[in-house]
Amino acid sequence: MNFGGSVLSPDWPDVESLRLAAESVRELVRRKHEVLVVVGGGGPARRYIEAGRELGGAEALLHELGIGITRLNARLLAMALGELSEPRPPTTFREAVQMMLRGKVPVMGGTVPGHTTDAVAAMAAKATRSSLLVYVTDVDGVYTADPKLDPTARKLERIGVEELVKMVGSRVSPGMRTILDPVAVKVLQQLRIRTVVIGKGEIPRIPLIAEGEKHSGTEILMG
Ligand code: UTP
* Cα 26 from chain centre: 18
pTM (2 d.p.): 0.95
Task: pLDDT tens for the chain, 223 residues: list them.
Answer: 999 999 999 999 999 999 999 999 999 999 999 999 999 999 999 999 999 999 999 999 999 999 999 999 999 999 999 999 999 999 999 999 999 999 999 999 999 999 999 999 999 999 999 999 999 999 999 998 888 888 899 999 999 999 998 888 876 666 666 788 899 999 999 988 999 999 999 999 999 999 999 999 999 998 7
**Which residue's alpha carbon is at the smallest distance from atom 28 of ligand 1?**
110
2-221: CATH superfamily:
Acetylglutamate kinase-like (3.40.1160.10)
- Would you kindly state where each structural domain of the chain is located, as residue ranges? 2-221
Substitution candidate for ligand 1 out of 2, 48, 49, 70 with most atoms within 8 A of CB: 70
The finding on whether 174 has its CB within 6 A of some atom of ligand 1 is yes
The confidence score (pLDDT) of residue 208 equals 98
- Phi and psi at residue 221, to the nearest 5°: -95, 130
Cα(109) to ligand 1 centroid in Å equals 9
* Helix (H/G/I), strand (E/B), else coil: 151: coil
Atom of ligand 1 nearest to the CA of 109: 29
Angle at 205 between CA 203 and CA 206, to 5 degrees: 70
Cα(38) to ligand 1 centroid in Å equals 11
**Which residue's alpha carbon is at the smallest distance from atom 29 of ligand 1?**
110
Cα(31) to ligand 1 centroid in Å equals 30
194-199 and 218-221 strand pairing: antiparallel
The finding on whether 110 has its CB within 6 A of some atom of ligand 1 is yes
Sequence-ordered alpha helix ranges (H) in the chain: 5-8, 15-30, 42-54, 59-81, 93-101, 117-127, 161-168, 182-190, 206-210
